[in-house]
Amino acid sequence: MPSISTPQPRWKYIADDLDAMAAGPTADQIRIADAVGAPLTPSLPAPVAAVVIRDHLKSVLFQGVGRPADLPEALSELEAELGITIRAHLVTGSRDEVSAWFHARYMVMTSRGLRALMPEPGDVVSRQSGVIENRVISSISADGRINFKGRPAARAWPNHLTSVARVGSTGHAEAIRQIDASLRNAASYTRASFGNFVPLSEFALDEYAPAAEAVRALEELLESGERLEQPFQNLLQRYPALLASVVIGNWKTFVIPQPRLGAELVPDFLVLGFNSLGPQWVTVEIEAARHKILNRHGRLSGPSNHAVQQIQDWREWLTDHIAYAQTEHHLHGLTNRAPGLVIIGRDSPSSQRQAARAQSEEDARIAVHSWDWLLRNAQARIQNPLAPSQFALANLPEEANSASLFQSSLQISGDTFDDSEVLDIDDLFSS
C-alpha cells in the first residue's frame, strides 16, 4: 500500500526557494541568457542574474542599470556574518547590481530565519522593534516575510522573531487572549460605526443640556450639606445630562450608571461621547461633597486617593478583559487608556487650585474636580447645549488638534467658567 506523503510546510517551500535563488540563476533566466548571449555563470544569484541580463539588453530595452558603484564594506560584513566564503563580485559594476547582491545575501538570512523559526499560521511569536511585542502569525509571504493578524497591520522578517507558543501547545490560548487585549487597548477607534452603540440606546441622552430642574436639584443637594455619597449617585442617575459636558458628544452622548462588568469592580459611571472622531469614553468616580479634595499638607486627601485608585484598578482590569467589555457589554472603543474623572468635595476658598490631574501608566489622564466644578459646567451647558468642559477638550484624540468640526461648540455663551486650575499628582506625591 503506497504511503501518504505529508504536504511540505509553506515556510520550508519558501526557504528552499530562497536558497535556490541565492545560489544561482533560475531556469528561466538561464534560458533567456542563452538566447540573448548574456554572460551568466552558474553561481550568480538570481537577483544579480536579472541585473546582468537587463544590462546586456539595455540597448534594446532603452533602460540602463544605474550609475557605477563599488561593493561597499557593509556587504562584506554581511557575508562574514552569514559565513559566506565565496564573496560577491561585480559583473556590470552598477548600483543596481550592488543592490541585487545585498538582496541575494538577505535571501540567505531570511531562509535561515524560516528554518530556525518554522513558522505556521496561528503561532504566537515575539518581535523586538524598540519594545518586545507578541503577535499572531497570519501568513508567510513569498519573500519570507511574516505577516501578523490584527491591527495595526504589521510584518517582520523571521530572523527577528522568536517562537512563544505554537498552535495547540500549552499556553497558546492564553497567549492569544493577551495579544487580543493588548491590540484592543492600543487600537484607534476614530472610525467606529454608530451601529456599534445601538445596544446602549437605553443610556442615550435625549438632550445635550441638563434640564433647569436638574441643575437646581444639584444646587439644593450641595447647599443642604448632604454628607453621604448615595444621594449624589441617585441624583446623577435621575439627571444623567449633568455629566454630558465631560465628553464631546455632538452626535450622541451616553451615561451608563454603575456598569457591573467585573466581579467586584463597578465604576460609578461610564460616559460616552460619540462624534465624528469616534467614541470618547470617560470613567467617573464620585465621592461625597463633604470630603476634602486636598489634605492640610496640600496633597490628595484619603478619599481622593481612594477614588483615583478605583480608576486605576479599572484600567488594570481592562488591560486583560477588554475583549469581554467590548463584545459582551458593547463598550466598543473603551480601553485602559480612557481618561478618568473624580468628582469630590466643594470648592475651597483657601485653596488656590481646586482640581488635580494625574496620568496613569498608559498616559491617560485622571482629573479630580469638585462638585461645584460640575455645577458650573452644567450651568454653562444650559446657556449653550454643546458647551464642553476643558476636561472634555483636553481628552479629545490628537486628530482633533487641527480639526475645525468643534469650533461651533467651543463658543460658550453666557458667563464664562474656568476649570483650568489643576494640580499634577506627581507634584502632590513628590517630597
**Tell me: the pLDDT tens digits for 80-113?**
999 998 888 888 888 888 899 999 999 999 999 9
pLDDT of 116 over the 60 cut: yes
| Cβ partners under 8 Å of residue 145, min gap 6 | 110, 155, 156, 157, 158
pLDDT at 132 (0 to 100): 67
pLDDT given at position 58: 80
| Segment holding 222, helix H or strand E | helix 212-223
For residue 18, count other CB atoms closer than 10 A to its CB. Answer: 24
Is the pLDDT at 47 greater than 50? The verdict is: yes
pLDDT class of 425 with cuts at 50, 70, 90: very low
Report the relative pairing of strands 422-424 and 355-359 from DSSP bridges. parallel
Residue 419: per-residue pLDDT = 37
Query: How far is 347 from 222, CA to CA, in rounded Å?
Result: 11
Range 40-59 average pLDDT = 88
Query: How far is the C-alpha of 374 from the C-alpha of 371, rounded, in Å?
Result: 5
The answer to whether residue 412 scores a pLDDT higher than 90 is: no
Whether the Cβ atoms of residue 319 and residue 181 lie closer than 8 Å to each other:
yes
**Average pLDDT over every residue of 203-211:** 89
Q: How far apart are CA 155 and CA 145, in angstroms?
A: 7
If you average pLDDT over residues 173-179, what whole number do you get? 87
C-alpha cell belonging to residue 191: 472610525
Exposure of 340 in the CB half-sphere (CA atoms within 13 A): 31
Sign of the C-alpha dihedral, residues 182, 185, 187, 192? Answer: positive
- Which grid coordinates are listed for 241? 445630562
The residue among 221 and 195 whose pLDDT is bigger is: 221
For residue 422, list its beta bridge partners.
355
What is the structure's pLDDT at 71? 83
pLDDT at 356 over 50: no
Residue 331 has pLDDT above 90, yes or no: no
Give the integer Cα–Cα distance in Å for 71 and 93: 9
The C-alpha atoms of residue 72 and residue 284 are separated, in whole angstroms, by 60
Q: How many residues does the chain have?
A: 431
* pTM of the predicted structure, to 2 decimals: 0.63
Continuous segment of H or E residues that includes residue 269: strand 269-275
Q: Are 381 and 390 in contact (CB under 8 A)?
A: no
Please give the Cα distance from 26 to 44 (Å, whole number): 10
Neighbours of 379 (CB within 10 A): 20
Q: How many CB atoms lie within 10 A of CB 312?
A: 17
Ranges assigned E (strand) in 230-362: 252-257, 269-275, 278-286, 340-343, 355-359
Alpha carbon distance 366, 305 (integer Å)? 11
Q: Considering Cα of 342, then 190, then 196, then 335, what sign does the dihedral take?
A: negative
* Residue 80, CA distances (Å) to 48, 103, 178, 197, 335 in order: 19, 15, 39, 58, 47
Region label for 66, one of left (φ > 0), alpha (ψ between -120 and 50) or beta (otherwise)? left
Q: How far is CA 214 from CA 145, 203, 375, in A?
A: 60, 17, 10
Mean pLDDT of the chain: 81
Buried b / exposed e over 144-178, threshold 16 CB at 10 Å, is bbbebbbeeeeebbbeebebbbbeeeeebeebbee
The mean pLDDT of 188-198, rounded to a whole number, is: 69
Q: What angle do CA 406, 412, 417 make, to 5 degrees?
A: 125
Per the structure block, which three cell numbers stand in for 352?
488656590
The residues near 71 (Cβ < 8 Å, ≥ 6 apart) are: 88, 89, 90, 98, 101
CB atoms within 10 A of CB 365: 18
Q: Is the pLDDT of residue 29 over 80?
A: yes
171 or 364, greater pLDDT = 171
CA distance 299 to 307: 14
Q: Do residues 243 and 403 lie in contact, with contact meaning Cβ atoms separated by under 8 Å?
A: no
Q: CA gyration radius for the chain? A: 31
